[in-house]
Structure 1
Amino acid sequence: MLISKQWLNSFVQTDLSTQKIAEKLTALGLEVESIQSAAPALDKIVVGSVVALEPHPDADKLRVASVDVGEKTPLQIVCGAPNVAVGGVYPVAVVGAVMPQGLKIKKTKLRGVESSGMLCSASELGLAEKSTGLMALPTELTVGEPVEKALDLVDEIIEIGLTPNRGDCFSMLGVARDLAASLNVNVDLANAMAITSENAATIASGSDSGSGSESESESESESESESDKHSPQVKLEAIDACPQYIAQTISGINNRASCPMWLLERLRRAGVRSVSPVVDVVNYVMLELGAPMHAFDAQKIDGDIVVRWAKPAESLALLDGKTIDLAKDMLVIADSQQPIALAGIMGGANSEVSADTTTIVLESAWFAPSAIAGRARRLGLHTDASKRFERGVDYSMQAQAIARAGQLIVQICGGQLHQQTIALDKANLPSRPTITLRQKQVDQLLGTKFPKRLIVEILRALGMTVSETDKGCYEVVPPSYRFDLSITPDLIEELARVWGYDNIPVAPIHFTESGEASKPQSLSMSRGDIHSTLVNLGYSEAISYSFVDSALADLLSDTNGSMALRNPISQEMGVMRTSLLPSLVKLVAYNKNRQQNELRLYEFGSGYCRNDDGTITQTRKLAGVATGLMHPMQWGYQQRTVDFFDCKGDIETILMQCGVPLDALTFAPATQSWLHPGQSAHIIYRDEVIGFIGALHPSVQKKLEISARVFAFEIDVDAITDKPVPVAKPLSKYPEIRRDISVLVAQRCATAHLLAAIKSVSQDLVTNVCLFDVYIGRNIPKNTKSMAIAIYLQDQKQTLTDSQADAIIQEVTNKLSTEFNATLRG
């Protein structure tokens, strides 16, 4: 959103500098991205009037103009512009002027005729991208006056980056409301309109000639003046999507009239190009009040106006030349024969206003955001109207906006305002919630004693209705233009941002000592700690969309819990991901195709799953992929590729960093069909599966055209953080005993199960179990393996004797023999 400081000052009277205003807006949450001059420096460029015009004696396309610039004698200037005329007023760059493009104006000869200056186009002055001729200025300007002063070009443009929730600030009025509240002044809307219209009071309240009848029927509006054949009737067939529609007919206009310079300049400074007087006024009122409108050529409307959903097989040629096939969920404005506009997005070419149009029908309507959202994106359209309607437009502004536009059009183009037709279904207009706000909640959330007098003052300054129902308790109703306010914390945020976050005092966290043991806290997996750990392990962070290709999601999942999007951005982003792995695997394939073979990527994000009862679960996940060489290439050691145990070690490092004790972590064979059956495992913490690790199945890699082995892991962060932090135990002051055993077991025996069985024997005394050797080969029976295990014993209360240690080892061997048919090697 581009904000002219001059225009903003007409709404809010302030002496603040542009920089101070920018700081205020940023503090209010309207982030200022840049500040630029409204126009280049135009020194020595003045207003000039052509008093005489003669043909060039030696060039058919050139003419010699005598131009009055307020000096004793007119300047002689050779000009080739087709629109130069006697009596015309244009910008004149006199000798010594330096044009925005760097050209210095000198006295010179053109085809033998002396020229002492240059008549300028808007593009040559940096006021337009393209020009077809000289920039025509209003004839009432003072000859010789600097153009900067004459056109009031000394202005600055503040560019604001708006967040999606602040649709109300896509207008000068919306930004002015916030600024006025922070400065504790009123918005002067009458003054802002008076600058551009002698009828400001009439425009602000609606004119008598434009007033119309109102129908609260769900089906059709009725006009008090049925004899007024200029006013079409309006029928609302989709009242849930459009409960309010106002049509204003204006006849006898001249759409070839020249728009006043102040209006064109305000449009230019807002980044909007001029099209025609009618379209320019409609755009201007949208920028001013935030209410998008549309204008139809009345002669091209057949019968009455109908607001309805599109019918099967209907199509519409749009103003941009594109013809679209309409879907049944698209809201259209139609006449008795066909659609004439895509509601809230773009008009149709079949009802377009042209330079020859003499009668128009202005549309000012309220369209529900749900009826507009997604349709423009689906059609590849992005219009100023759709951007506003998708976020929510003030549903009380339509009458004021159409009155404002009607008066300006009559002022510029002439014509007559006819009876308005108003179709209204109040029951389907949005209702604003009543929100309860307590002083105690404000103080608690902001961490300070908030001034009581400011609560009512700030909220009312922001347009809210506030009533105190009890001491320190308020009932608050947000205004019709604030769709982002629905709960108590929203109001507290409004108080904080208008009061100023800098006014909230910094206070240290207050701790109290207690002799009681603290309650067990949950484990923490902070994004910062995880990032630091993984970066140190050689991983790079990836940030990807939550939408993935449905085919890829199915390939890397054994469940059908993914949710299809109604309006996907593209075919490759059709479903919400249940896992982060499809996003990372896609990145691996992308990088491999670009000769990036050594990759370690991770992502911390969310997975989304639809449950059997139709509810949706969002789960935080941490996923990673690794492929290629284990270490950067160098001569000091023999190279090898990343393997299963490298990734397993990375997982153990991450979890240990987050407080997970490794003795509570086990790995068991995985069952996912898309993982390699011999190189994959479930990650188990305290008897709950919290993730998986493994190599991608060869068939999956073949489909993805990835030749090098890829290892992947994913951890359910929420499953870990729900677990309590392990209780710390004091270290024993008595000696530790190590006993090694070597047992023969079947090759299919899982190490994790074997070690868990050993730990379960005399848990208070077996402090650690470690596998330090595995042997398969000669001198042991076929289909068996020898496992060498170190068992550490320690008592918290006394020194263990050899006989006590022998008894524990005997118990261990008996358990292994019973559960795993293990035999002790000699």
Structure 2
Amino acid sequence: MRIAKQWLLDWLDTRLPFEDLGAALTRGGFEVEGAGTTGPALPGVVVGRIAAITAHPHAERLRICTVDCGEDGVRTVVCGAANARLGLKAPLALPGAVLGKRVITEAELRGVRSHGMLCSGAELGLAATEGLWELPEDAPPGMALADYFRFADPYLDVAVTPNRGDCLSVKGVARELAALTGGRFRAPRPRALKVSGVTPHVSVEDKSRCPRYCARLISGMAPDKGSPGWLVERLRVCGASARHPAVDVTNYILFDLGQPLHAFDAALVRGAVVVRGAHPGEEITLLDGATRRLNADDLIIADDEGPLAVAGVMGGRRAAVGPATRSVLLEAAYFRPDTLSRTARRLGLATESALRFERGVDPELCELALERATALILKIAGGVASPAAEHSVPELWPRPEPIRLRLERIRRLLGVGVPRAHVTRLLKGLGMTVTASHGDLLVTAPRFRFDIRAEVDLIEEVARLLGYDEIPAVALSQAPLSARPRALGLRRAADLLVDRDYHEAMTFSLVDPEEQTRLGIPAQALLRNPLAAPWSALRASLIPGLLAAALHNRRRQQGRVRLFEVGTCFRAADSGTAVDEELRLAGVALGPAWPEQWGAPGRLVDFFDVKGDVEVLCALAGATLAVEAGDIPPFLQKGLAATLRVGGETIGFLGGLSPAHRERLGFEEPVFVFEIHAAPLGQPLGGRAQEPPRFPSVRRDLAVVVRADLPAGAVLETVRVNAGPLLQGLVLFDVYQGEGLDLGKKSLALGLTLQDFSRTLTDEVVDGLVAQVLAALKAAHGAELRQ
């Protein structure tokens, strides 16, 4: 937002140089994006008035203008602009003036000598007008155009952060500068207006969304006078153009005070005006020319024939002010930000008015803005103002609550103590009410400071006003902080996966509930007010996001894809409306098992590759992973999936995506995924250094015959349970079915490593342990030792 110096000084009494004000804003937390002057110098360009105009004797489209240049007399200028007419005031470039790369000279045009050039706004690099730039009536002939418009006036381009809606105006910035620099803020003093006539009839049906609405009728205007130069120039600096005195004034008040206003052509309003919710399916053609369909969530201004405007966003064409408008209905209101924000976003409209209402407008501004706008319109275009109609429900206005501010808390957060009197003076400079309360301060923010909600907000204000540069650097004395075991464990797990050629991904926490349902994942945490339908649920699993990311990479010629993510998943809590969060680690792998090379034939990644990755993850945390058949998610392929358990508890799953889901999603090769709870990975190892064993281990291999449909994991678990503490290693190293075995049987070859750390194992002990294991296998699974 551009803030011109002279405009700012209407509100701020200060002796500081203008550039110092920019530095003060920067210290106060505002970003000054640029600075400059409001317009070009334009030497040799003056205000000219067409005193006489005649047809060109040798060209139909040209006319000969006698231009009044004030004290410099008159000049003859040949002009081809269609809007050239008697009495028009327009910029006149005298011989020698430079417009861009063009030097104006005296020239003979079709037999008539022209002593200069009447200019359009585009030729001056200013307003993009068609034909001559029509200057206001108060522009004195002969005056330098740059002096009339104060083009040499410096400005600051200030970026206002979203939380500071109170500074989206010259008044707001001036009020902030007064507090930052010690200058004096010139509070406005509205003058009493002379009013007459009948109060306009307006009503508010939806008071909850519009707690304050004011309106006034101004009739008998003379719009042909146009807006004065100072107003036109201030609007131009802010990026707006002059249209009609009433519209120009409403735009000016918006930039000056920060209160959006709207003017309706009163002659086009039918019956009473009402503020109400839109009827579903109701339509309105807005000022941008587009027709938009409304719903019950939209708040509108309407008359007996239908919508006149979308409240706080944009007016409609039906009652729009035009060049011939002589009476207007002037509106000032406070609309609830959340309602207006949803409407503006749904309709795809980003207007200056909507921007301010979304960030918060002080309801108390309505009366001041309406009075100032009325006074300006009457001064510029004449007319008569009616009494103002007002509907107000103060109980529904934003009400700032007192906040307790502790001086000790200021010292702890800023690292420096600030005297009570100094804190009080600083906060009162921002318009806050400060009282003493039990050794602390009780502070109430002004209504326009919507960003002040808690004690830390007040401390931030103290820091801003003190100046961050003035807060001394203090060395903190504290013990070195170490990483939390959980965070350290997860970081080590992530590093391990990166070492195994995985890439870390970060997917969106909001997902499409329908896609979760298609994968068989219940969408338990649905949003009440989602940004869009595809993002209306919190994810219950990391797998959908990783599958989408893997497919995105695969379609972009990434042949070997390995992705993992550590993220939060959500599910509805047993208590009802609450949501439980759980940290998980998940991965997806597809494509070649290893990078392309010459030393070994290539193959695709398989179940056991990914199983190995998960086993190493668990081993890193000191946990022993058991891979078992069990309940698996419906999107995994049966016979190629398993449940993962640690210490008897299920921690996740592992498997290949089913062919049906592979085809639906668009994968052409096998895809393997895993998802585990992150808690076991975050456990500290807590291990101690151990002396290498002094006594040898014993290896015994067993081949047992079991049912062909018996999972090997069940056999291994039985061995672990019955072998006792002497079992130091267990491996399945062969599976056989075929000749020599009965139909429906298979042979599992197991390798048992036995060791006692206090003595050498004897054959008697080992044989007894093996016999114990075989007996347990026979009892549990009907296993027989293969002969």
TM-score range normalised by the length of the shorter chain: 0.7 to 0.9
Which of 582, 596, 618 lines up with 2:544 in the alignment? 582
Q: Partner residue of 1:380? A: 348
Distance 1:561 1:785 in 2: 45
Q: Partner residue of 2:684? A: 725
The alpha-carbon deviation at position 309 of structure 1 amounts to 2.5
- The answer to whether the 8 Å contact 1:735/1:794 transfers is no
Q: Partner residue of 1:773? A: 733
Secondary structure in 2 matching 1:202: coil
Distance 1:650 1:98 in 2: 74
- The answer to whether the 8 Å contact 2:250/2:260 transfers is yes
Instruction: Tell me the amino acid that sits aligned with residue 523 of structure 1.
Output: R
Q: Does residue 553 of the first structure (1) align with residue 516 of the second (2)?
A: yes
Q: Partner residue of 2:400? A: 432
The alpha-carbon deviation at position 481 of structure 1 amounts to 1.7
Q: Partner residue of 2:124? A: 125
- The answer to whether the 8 Å contact 2:223/2:324 transfers is yes
Instruction: Tell me the amino acid that sits aligned with residue 748 of structure 2.
Output: S
Instruction: Tell me the amino acid that sits aligned with residue 488 of structure 1.
Output: E
Secondary structure in 2 matching 1:351: coil
Secondary structure in 2 matching 1:308: strand
Secondary structure in 2 matching 1:124: helix
| Counterpart mapping for 1:107-256 below 5 A | 109-111=108-110, 113-115=112-114, 117-136=116-135, 139-141=138-140, 143=142, 145=144, 147=146, 150-160=149-159, 162-163=161-162, 165-190=163-188, 201-202=189-190, 207-209=192-194, 230-256=198-224
- The answer to whether the 8 Å contact 2:68/2:141 transfers is no
The alpha-carbon deviation at position 367 of structure 1 amounts to 1.7
Distance 1:136 1:526 in 2: 73
Q: Partner residue of 1:492? A: 459
- The answer to whether the 8 Å contact 2:340/2:357 transfers is yes
Secondary structure in 1 matching 2:388: strand
- The answer to whether the 8 Å contact 1:44/1:94 transfers is no
Which of 559, 582, 590 lines up with 1:627 in the alignment? 590
Q: Partner residue of 2:668? A: 707
How has the CA–CA distance of structure 1 residues 470 and 655 changed in structure 2, closer, same or farther, with 3 Å as cutoff?
A: farther
- The answer to whether the 8 Å contact 1:742/1:825 transfers is no
Distance 1:189 1:151 in 2: 25
Q: Does residue 481 of the first structure (1) align with residue 448 of the second (2)?
A: yes
Distance 1:785 1:337 in 2: 87
- The answer to whether the 8 Å contact 1:22/1:158 transfers is no
TM-score, scaled relative to structure 2: 0.84
Distance 1:604 1:98 in 2: 64
Distance 1:92 1:58 in 2: 23
Secondary structure in 1 matching 2:451: coil
Instruction: Tell me the amino acid that sits aligned with residue 403 of structure 1.
Output: E
Distance 2:331 2:729 in 1: 79
Distance 1:535 1:18 in 2: 55
Q: Partner residue of 2:238? A: 270
The alpha-carbon deviation at position 91 of structure 1 amounts to 3.1
The alpha-carbon deviation at position 565 of structure 1 amounts to 5.0
Distance 1:527 1:6 in 2: 59
How has the CA–CA distance of structure 1 residues 240 and 58 changed in structure 2, closer, same or farther, with 3 Å as cutoff?
A: same
The alpha-carbon deviation at position 229 of structure 1 amounts to 5.8
- The answer to whether the 8 Å contact 2:504/2:565 transfers is yes
Stretches of structure 2 lacking an aligned partner (at least 5 in a row): none
Distance 1:602 1:148 in 2: 65
Secondary structure in 1 matching 2:487: coil
- The answer to whether the 8 Å contact 1:45/1:147 transfers is no
How has the CA–CA distance of structure 1 residues 140 and 98 changed in structure 2, closer, same or farther, with 3 Å as cutoff?
A: closer
Q: Partner residue of 1:221? A: none
- The answer to whether the 8 Å contact 2:219/2:328 transfers is yes
- The answer to whether the 8 Å contact 2:618/2:625 transfers is no
The alpha-carbon deviation at position 808 of structure 1 amounts to 7.3
The alpha-carbon deviation at position 292 of structure 1 amounts to 1.9
The alpha-carbon deviation at position 561 of structure 1 amounts to 1.0
Secondary structure in 2 matching 1:373: helix
Distance 2:235 2:491 in 1: 46
How has the CA–CA distance of structure 1 residues 637 and 422 changed in structure 2, closer, same or farther, with 3 Å as cutoff?
A: same
Q: Partner residue of 2:34? A: 35
- The answer to whether the 8 Å contact 1:244/1:422 transfers is yes
Which of 293, 299, 302 lines up with 1:334 in the alignment? 302
Which of 636, 641, 647 lines up with 2:604 in the alignment? 641
- The answer to whether the 8 Å contact 1:173/1:290 transfers is yes
Q: Partner residue of 2:365? A: 397
| Counterpart mapping for 1:414-813 below 5 A | 414-471=382-439, 473-511=440-478, 521-524=484-487, 545-564=508-527, 566=529, 568-569=531-532, 571-593=533-555, 595-601=557-563, 606-611=568-573, 613-617=576-580, 623-631=586-594, 633=596, 635=598, 637-648=600-611, 660-663=621-624, 669=630, 671-682=632-643, 684=645, 689=650, 691-714=652-675, 719=679, 724-732=683-691, 734-735=693-694, 738-743=697-702, 744=704, 769=729, 771=731, 773-777=733-737, 781=741, 783-784=745-746, 786-789=748-751, 791=753, 795=757, 806=766
Which of 408, 427, 441 lines up with 2:376 in the alignment? 408
How has the CA–CA distance of structure 1 residues 187 and 96 changed in structure 2, closer, same or farther, with 3 Å as cutoff?
A: same
How has the CA–CA distance of structure 1 residues 697 and 615 changed in structure 2, closer, same or farther, with 3 Å as cutoff?
A: same
Distance 1:233 1:81 in 2: 46
Instruction: Tell me the amino acid that sits aligned with residue 559 of structure 1.
Output: P
The alpha-carbon deviation at position 480 of structure 1 amounts to 1.0
Distance 2:492 2:79 in 1: 69
Q: Partner residue of 1:213? A: none
How has the CA–CA distance of structure 1 residues 324 and 146 changed in structure 2, closer, same or farther, with 3 Å as cutoff?
A: closer
Distance 1:760 1:24 in 2: 74
Secondary structure in 1 matching 2:45: strand
Instruction: Tell me the amino acid that sits aligned with residue 444 of structure 2.
Output: V
Distance 2:498 2:176 in 1: 43
The alpha-carbon deviation at position 399 of structure 1 amounts to 1.2
Distance 2:725 2:483 in 1: 21
The alpha-carbon deviation at position 469 of structure 1 amounts to 0.4
The alpha-carbon deviation at position 396 of structure 1 amounts to 2.0
- The answer to whether the 8 Å contact 2:211/2:334 transfers is yes
**Which shifted more, 749-758 or 248-257?**
749-758
The alpha-carbon deviation at position 107 of structure 1 amounts to 5.4
Secondary structure in 2 matching 1:59: coil
How has the CA–CA distance of structure 1 residues 595 and 417 changed in structure 2, closer, same or farther, with 3 Å as cutoff?
A: same
- The answer to whether the 8 Å contact 2:4/2:38 transfers is no
Distance 1:495 1:810 in 2: 80
Secondary structure in 1 matching 2:81: coil
Distance 2:558 2:688 in 1: 47
- The answer to whether the 8 Å contact 1:561/1:578 transfers is yes
The alpha-carbon deviation at position 419 of structure 1 amounts to 0.8
Q: Partner residue of 2:322? A: 354
The alpha-carbon deviation at position 10 of structure 1 amounts to 4.3
- The answer to whether the 8 Å contact 1:47/1:89 transfers is no
Instruction: Tell me the amino acid that sits aligned with residue 691 of structure 2.
Output: S
The alpha-carbon deviation at position 40 of structure 1 amounts to 6.2
How has the CA–CA distance of structure 1 residues 56 and 373 changed in structure 2, closer, same or farther, with 3 Å as cutoff?
A: same
Distance 1:486 1:582 in 2: 38
How has the CA–CA distance of structure 1 residues 819 and 438 changed in structure 2, closer, same or farther, with 3 Å as cutoff?
A: farther
How has the CA–CA distance of structure 1 residues 519 and 60 changed in structure 2, closer, same or farther, with 3 Å as cutoff?
A: closer
Q: Partner residue of 1:223? A: none
TM-score, scaled relative to structure 1: 0.81
**Cα deviation 1:434-465 (Å, max 9, x = unaligned):** 22222233333445445544432333233322
